[in-house]
A and B are shown apart, each in its own frame.
Chain A
């Protein structure tokens, strides 16, 4: 029997590639594949577990929650949810939260759009320092500003109003919005602005009809971040409100009564608090990574 030896360069290369592929395939065998799946599965389980547990609790009665350990509701009930939607003390918490969050989003975006445009397009004295200073606002803990805000709002009669919380949240939301929007705006070439001026657009008209549509995904992402930060913030919103503008997170901390803690309702309220975030994130899911990078790719 003769053994043929490859001679032409093509054959040699082909055979080398084949054997390399075989080796790689062996190395990447079933064991590796399963190991990967298991690790990923475990990760997902640990991430989802608290959320599942919250959901689980929200459909149980208080006796079941306190009585026995169950992986799924034994006596399935929606009484907890009904309670929230019928008791004005509860649902007004959501209304209040949504009210000041939306106000804050509106204020922040309308202030941040022109500011970000200025930072992205113009050079002025101290622009870089100012821009960085904005970022440092995000580094200060809100607790630092708690007392001045409280005192100030109380003396001008803003205490316990929606706008008070909305304004307070601007402290960290406006810098964030400026940073994200500036990144998105800087990826639009300056020549677009110039072309528009050459065509005869006035600045406001160009900004609204040409420029904003060009960065609409950036605006979407920014709004998402504004929503999230304002929605989850507890310290300022709780301190600056009493009853008229009390946010849901604050109401949730007051479920302990003389008869003990109402675990079921608390869990249902928790689920309802997560939901808006899920809805909002759905709309910006394709651009969210760029948002986390503050609009810079």
Chain B
């Protein structure tokens, strides 16, 4: 079972929602669609499911063109952000409904529904109605309905957004377990880079209807193809600062110069954008070649045991992601340390030209 999207375009009333998406999903893979709201995640999933035909392009399932095949004839299932169940049916009948429609024998239905319910920990709720359940249990029911039939393609459209934090973590872990043994393609849409990282598998980064990058999740994370992809796939977004390379020196912030270290020495002279992740900038130097910068504090967001520190100087703004709670007063001058060996360099058109080496990773 493989799914290939060829040059998919989707235009609604003259507005392009999806533009030239080419994607090949391998059998048994777990794929994350990552992108902000309006990036086209839901539209793309609806096209994959067959709920909407693409304006242009082809959709191949197992090498067969299914672009115009109706959703009823495709073996897919989908879980929505809202908890969608049939309120007039019990949880058992909800989960059993795809099997009943496929005329599976009764004993088999019983067995599979119970098996699925057990897997999702809702076996004690089978006689209840969806309205009598909590949000998490309702979503489990919806997932049960999606998982009970052996669909070739299972689509999750931000299924955990309406659940609380703890439940989300629990679900994520279970989901990964569930799909280890299955040989179907799973597609999971999310807006959160951290969720994509936690789920693993492969990630497709979407932005304004275009596919920026597709590959193994940690690969996409560590080796972004361009600035946009790097910005989409980090929370808080990666810090971008303009810099100039000339001769053997980097000019940074117009007046800060530092020599090209061995990481960066291959860069040709010219203008660049340097990217550095928020968690890599620190308040203490981490290495000898860290660059010391004098900045002013804009605001310190403290969330739980982490601090997002927004700082600025005359030319750019930076965000630091610090572990622990740090309190600063506004406009306080502080020194931060910029790791020169963890810099991504992008050329002026946004393409990546340098990716920092990761110790221990080839």
Report A's interface with B, CB cutoff 8 A. Answer: 189, 191-192, 194-202, 209-210, 213-214
Q: Which of B72, B76, B84, B145 contacts A189 (CB 8 A)?
A: B84
| Structural contact, A192 and B72, CB atoms closer than 8 A | no
| Structural contact, B82 and A200, CB atoms closer than 8 A | no
Given that A200-B101, A200-B102 are contacting pairs, would A195 and B84 also be in contact in the complex, using a CB cutoff of 8 Å? Answer: yes
Q: List the A side residues contacting B102 at CB < 8 Å.
A: 200
Q: List the A side residues contacting B80 at CB < 8 Å.
A: 191, 195
Assess whether B87 is interfacial by the CB under 8 Å rule: yes
| Structural contact, A198 and B77, CB atoms closer than 8 A | yes
Q: Which of A192, A194, A200, A213 contacts B98 (CB 8 A)?
A: A200
Interface residues as binary, B50-67 with A (CB distance below 8 Å gives 1, 0 otherwise): 010000000000000000
Q: List the A side residues contacting B142 at CB < 8 Å.
A: 195
| Structural contact, A210 and B84, CB atoms closer than 8 A | no
| 7 A-B pairs closest in CB distance | A213-B88, A200-B101, A199-B98, A191-B84, A191-B80, A195-B84, A197-B71
> Known contacts A191-B82, A214-B88; can you find 13 more A-B pairs with CB under 8 A?
A189-B84, A191-B80, A194-B51, A196-B86, A197-B71, A198-B76, A198-B78, A199-B98, A199-B101, A201-B72, A201-B97, A210-B88, A213-B87
Give chain A nearest CB distance to B280 CB in angstroms: 41
Assess whether B49 is interfacial by the CB under 8 Å rule: yes
Given that A189-B82, A194-B51 are contacting pairs, would A202 and B88 also be in contact in the complex, using a CB cutoff of 8 Å? Answer: no
Q: List the B side residues contacting A214 at CB < 8 Å.
A: 86-88
Given that A199-B145, A202-B72 are contacting pairs, would A192 and B84 also be in contact in the complex, using a CB cutoff of 8 Å? Answer: yes
Kindly state the separation between the CA atoms of A192 and B97 in the bound complex, as whole angstroms. Answer: 13
Given that A194-B51, A194-B78, A195-B78 are contacting pairs, would A201 and B101 also be in contact in the complex, using a CB cutoff of 8 Å? Answer: yes
| Structural contact, A199 and B76, CB atoms closer than 8 A | no
| Structural contact, B72 and A197, CB atoms closer than 8 A | yes
Nearest-neighbor residue (CB-CB) of A206 within chain B: B86
Given that A194-B51, A194-B78 are contacting pairs, would A199 and B97 also be in contact in the complex, using a CB cutoff of 8 Å? Answer: yes
Interface size on B, residues (CB 8 A): 21
Nearest-neighbor residue (CB-CB) of A197 within chain B: B71
Q: List the B side residues contacting A199 at CB < 8 Å.
A: 77, 97-98, 101, 145
Give chain B nearest CB distance to A287 CB in angstroms: 16
DSSP majority for the A interface?
helix
Q: List the B side residues contacting A213 at CB < 8 Å.
A: 87-88
19 A-B Cβ contacts within 8 A?
A: A191-B80, A191-B82, A192-B84, A195-B78, A195-B84, A195-B142, A198-B49, A198-B51, A198-B71, A198-B72, A198-B77, A198-B78, A199-B77, A201-B97, A210-B86, A210-B89, A213-B87, A214-B86, A214-B87
Kindly state the separation between the CA atoms of A201 and B73 in the bound complex, as whole angstroms. Answer: 11
Give chain B nearest CB distance to A187 CB in angstroms: 12
Kindly state the separation between the CA atoms of A202 and B73 in the bound complex, as whole angstroms. Answer: 11
Q: List the A side residues contacting B70 at CB < 8 Å.
A: 197
Kindly state the separation between the CA atoms of A209 and B102 in the bound complex, as whole angstroms. Answer: 16
Kindly state the separation between the CA atoms of A166 and B88 in the bound complex, as whole angstroms. Answer: 32
Kindly state the separation between the CA atoms of A199 and B87 in the bound complex, as whole angstroms. Answer: 15
Give chain A nearest CB distance to B96 CB in angstroms: 10
Q: List the A side residues contacting B98 at CB < 8 Å.
A: 199-200
Kindly state the separation between the CA atoms of A196 and B77 in the bound complex, as whole angstroms. Answer: 10
Q: Which of A189, A192, A194 contacts B86 (CB 8 A)?
A: A192
Nearest-neighbor residue (CB-CB) of B157 within chain A: A191
Kindly state the separation between the CA atoms of A194 and B157 in the bound complex, as whole angstroms. Answer: 13
Q: List the B side residues contacting A196 at CB < 8 Å.
A: 86
Give chain B nearest CB distance to A248 CB in angstroms: 38
Give chain B nearest CB distance to A198 CB in angstroms: 5
Kindly state the separation between the CA atoms of A189 and B77 in the bound complex, as whole angstroms. Answer: 17
Q: List the A side residues contacting B87 at CB < 8 Å.
A: 213-214
Give chain A nearest CB distance to B78 CB in angstroms: 5
Give chain A nearest CB distance to B187 CB in angstroms: 14
Task: Name the residue in B70, B72, B80 with the highest tally of chain A Cβ atoms < 10 Å from its Cβ.
Answer: B72
Kindly state the separation between the CA atoms of A32 and B140 in the bound complex, as whole angstroms. Answer: 53
Kindly state the separation between the CA atoms of A198 and B80 in the bound complex, as whole angstroms. Answer: 12
Kindly state the separation between the CA atoms of A196 and B49 in the bound complex, as whole angstroms. Answer: 13
Q: List the A side residues contacting B51 at CB < 8 Å.
A: 194, 197-198
Q: List the A side residues contacting B101 at CB < 8 Å.
A: 199-201
Q: List the A side residues contacting B76 at CB < 8 Å.
A: 198
Give chain B nearest CB distance to A124 CB in angstroms: 14
B80-107 CB contacts (< 8 Å) to partner A: 80, 82, 84, 86-89, 97-98, 101-102
Kindly state the separation between the CA atoms of A201 and B98 in the bound complex, as whole angstroms. Answer: 8
Kindly state the separation between the CA atoms of A194 and B86 in the bound complex, as whole angstroms. Answer: 12
Kindly state the separation between the CA atoms of A135 and B80 in the bound complex, as whole angstroms. Answer: 35
Q: Which of A191, A200, A209, A210 contacts B72 (CB 8 A)?
A: A200
Kindly state the separation between the CA atoms of A213 and B145 in the bound complex, as whole angstroms. Answer: 19
Kindly state the separation between the CA atoms of A189 and B87 in the bound complex, as whole angstroms. Answer: 12
Give chain A nearest CB distance to B239 CB in angstroms: 38
Give chain B nearest CB distance to A200 CB in angstroms: 4
Kindly state the separation between the CA atoms of A198 and B52 in the bound complex, as whole angstroms. Answer: 12
Kindly state the separation between the CA atoms of A208 and B86 in the bound complex, as whole angstroms. Answer: 12
Kindly state the separation between the CA atoms of A50 and B107 in the bound complex, as whole angstroms. Answer: 64
Nearest-neighbor residue (CB-CB) of A209 within chain B: B88
Kindly state the separation between the CA atoms of A199 and B142 in the bound complex, as whole angstroms. Answer: 11
Kindly state the separation between the CA atoms of A210 and B102 in the bound complex, as whole angstroms. Answer: 17
Give chain B nearest CB distance to A206 CB in angstroms: 9
Give chain A nearest CB distance to B194 CB in angstroms: 26
Nearest-neighbor residue (CB-CB) of A216 within chain B: B88
Q: List the B side residues contacting A198 at CB < 8 Å.
A: 49, 51, 71-72, 76-78
